[in-house]
């Protein structure tokens, strides 16, 4: 039996054969570039052993050194692996504590840490990943005795950290993510199937593409829970005990585009902080009785709902939110009154459809007057004679660069292609327009805006949850 600190090194040479008939080399495949480097085995102690196997593995176009250690006898992180170690996987070990200096020999090169199936792991000490400049991924799963991760990111200097996954543990508190450098745009924060019971104030501050708290034991989301965060997709799916979302729970959250509250016990959704939502999922949630107004979720494009009557809120906004509807109509009328003197649309001028460009949900042309947070651009360049919308008098595309941007983003000119069959889509009058009901346009004060189309989906309501 080999001594614990002894190493038996195996080297595999990958040969590259050269064809003399074609004078071109045959390149080894990526699979062939994985090389078994070394194997380290401990002494037997009370019939318990542990093993580490190290490989050179190709990920994408990079060759990385990975070591996989497992065995009940492994009670601490080995410190005599290759100092250029980039990825370490620790599984099926009886390790209880990962000490602050456990990864010290590998800090300059360490990228990925995978801790899996560790039934006795309780503590990862504060500052364990301090001064690990290349840290990229931390994955912890099936560690039922690990209830907290205090200071796990304290002193972390990495600027390309991309994934934190803590799944199937005893975690009760959300780790402090504020120590991650602002340069990090994290791809995934996954805190699924743990024991988290609440999302407190200022619990999460992160720039991330996706954050999930699925299948926890969450009962409440407090006010300003995500204050200062930029998160594109946020999910609480499967939290059956979640019944309360405070009025300002999402206030201070920016860039949110997708929200999933399926399989919860909520009755309503607060809209503060959700004005940018594009996809809303509230499936298998029979307790959900009140749906937000379309005037509050002005960017909504898809809604995955539980009850068919939920769609009435979007299809019949005047009945669902009469106050919001009245305010919106008054805003439009005021915009028309204010813009009308500057508009000279002429009498009975016909226009032909050449090309259509989607500019967003509320692209009405009145920016000086707004409804709530909705702003409209005022356009003072209405036509007063029959013109081609795509070509000017010189036969060149019309330059629209002088128009104000919608919602803060400049609309790039897209060259239109003339339709072989010109379609008549209405008659312009001085201050109103007659539009066919089957045409996808609304008209205000003689200017066109795209109608908003919302896709609504329903799944059969499950009688029992799993």
Res 348: pLDDT: 38
Res 337: pLDDT: 72
CATH superfamily of 196-336+443-448: Ribonuclease Inhibitor (3.80.10.10)
Q: Do strands 220-221 and 137-143 pair parallel, antiparallel, or not at all (unpaired)?
A: unpaired
Q: Which two tokens stand for residue 58?
A: 């190709």
pLDDT digits (tens, 9 = 90+) for 301-349: 888 888 776 666 666 666 656 666 676 667 767 777 776 554 444 433 3
Nearest 5°: CA angle at 409, between 408 and 415? 145
Distance CA 353, CA 351 (A): 7
As a three-state string, the secondary structure of 304-362 is EECCHHHHHHHHCHHHHCHHHHHHHHHHHHHHHHHHHHHCCCCCCEEEECCCCCCCCCC
Give backbone dihedrals phi and psi of 310, rounded to 5 degrees, phi first: -60, -30
Res 120: pLDDT: 97
Q: What burial class does residue 29 get, using C-beta atoms within 10 Å of its C-beta: 0-12 exposed, 13-18 middle, 19+ buried?
A: exposed
Q: How much is the mean pLDDT over the chain? A: 72
Q: CATH number for 48-193: choose from 3.75.10.10, 3.80.10.10, 1.10.10.60, 3.30.365.10.
A: 3.80.10.10
Res 39: pLDDT: 52
Res 321: pLDDT: 60
Q: Which residues pair with 70 in a beta bridge?
A: 51, 91
* Average pLDDT of adjacent 10-residue blocks, the chain of 466 residues: 39 30 35 48 55 86 90 92 94 95 95 97 95 96 96 91 97 93 92 98 96 98 97 98 97 96 95 93 90 81 79 64 66 71 42 37 37 38 40 48 40 39 42 45 44 57 44
pLDDT digits (tens, 9 = 90+) for 404-432: 443 333 333 334 344 444 444 444 444 44
Res 425: pLDDT: 41
Res 294: pLDDT: 76
Q: Where are the domains of the chain?
A: 48-193, 196-336+443-448
Greatest C-alpha distance within the chain: 99
Res 24: pLDDT: 37
Q: Do strands 123-124 and 137-143 pair parallel, antiparallel, or not at all (unpaired)?
A: unpaired
pTM: 0.65
């Amino acid at each position: 039996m080999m001594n614990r600190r002894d190493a038996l090194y195996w080297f595999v040479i990958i040969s590259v054969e050269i064809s003399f008939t074609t004078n071109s080399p045959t390149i080894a495949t990526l699979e062939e570039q994985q090389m078994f480097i070394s194997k380290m085995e401990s002494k037997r102690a009370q019939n318990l052993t542990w093993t580490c196997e190290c490989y050179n593995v190709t990920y994408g176009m990079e060759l990385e050194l990975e070591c996989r250690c497992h065995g009940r006898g492994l009670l601490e992180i080995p410190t005599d692996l290759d100092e250029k170690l980039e990825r370490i996987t620790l599984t099926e070990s009886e390790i209880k504590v990962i000490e602050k200096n456990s990864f010290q020999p590998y800090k300059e090169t360490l990228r990925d840490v995978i801790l899996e199936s560790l039934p006795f792991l309780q503590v990862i000490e504060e500052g364990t990943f301090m001064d690990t400049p290349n840290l990229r991924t931390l994955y912890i799963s099936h560690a039922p005795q690990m209830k907290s991760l205090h200071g796990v990111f304290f002193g972390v200097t990495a600027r390309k950290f991309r994934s934190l996954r803590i799944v199937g543990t005893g975690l009760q508190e959300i780790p402090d993510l504020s120590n991650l450098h602002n340069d990090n745009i994290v791809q995934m924060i996954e805190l699924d199937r743990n024991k988290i019971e609440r999302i407190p104030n200022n619990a999460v501050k992160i720039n991330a593409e996706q954050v999930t708290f699925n299948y926890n034991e969450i009962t409440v989301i407090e006010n300003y829970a995500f204050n200062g965060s930029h998160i594109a997709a946020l999910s609480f799916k499967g939290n059956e005990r979640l019944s309360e979302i405070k009025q300002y729970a999402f206030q201070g959250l920016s860039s949110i585009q997708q929200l999933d509250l399926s399989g919860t016990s909520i009755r309503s959704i607060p809209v503060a902080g959700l004005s940018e939502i594009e996809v809303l999922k509230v499936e298998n949630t029979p307790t959900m009785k009140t749906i937000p107004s379309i005037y509050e979720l002005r960017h909504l494009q898809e809604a995955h709902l539980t009850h068919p009557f939920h769609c009435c809120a979007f299809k019949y906004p005047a009945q669902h939110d009469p106050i919001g509807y009245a305010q919106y109509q008054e805003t439009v009328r005021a915009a028309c009154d204010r813009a009308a003197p500057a508009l000279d649309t002429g009498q009975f001028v016909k226009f032909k459809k050449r090309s259509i460009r989607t500019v967003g949900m509320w692209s009405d042309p009145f920016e000086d007057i707004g409804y709530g947070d909705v702003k409209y651009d005022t356009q003072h360049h209405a036509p007063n004679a029959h013109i081609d919308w795509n070509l000017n008098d010189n036969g060149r595309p019309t330059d629209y660069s002088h128009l104000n941007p919608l919602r803060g983003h400049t609309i790039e000119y897209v060259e239109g292609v003339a339709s072989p069959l010109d379609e008549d889509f209405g008659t312009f009058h001085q201050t109103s327009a007659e539009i066919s009901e089957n045409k996808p346009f609304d008209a205000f004060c003689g200017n066109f805006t795209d109608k908003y189309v919302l896709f609504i989906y329903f799944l059969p309501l499950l009688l029992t949850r799993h």
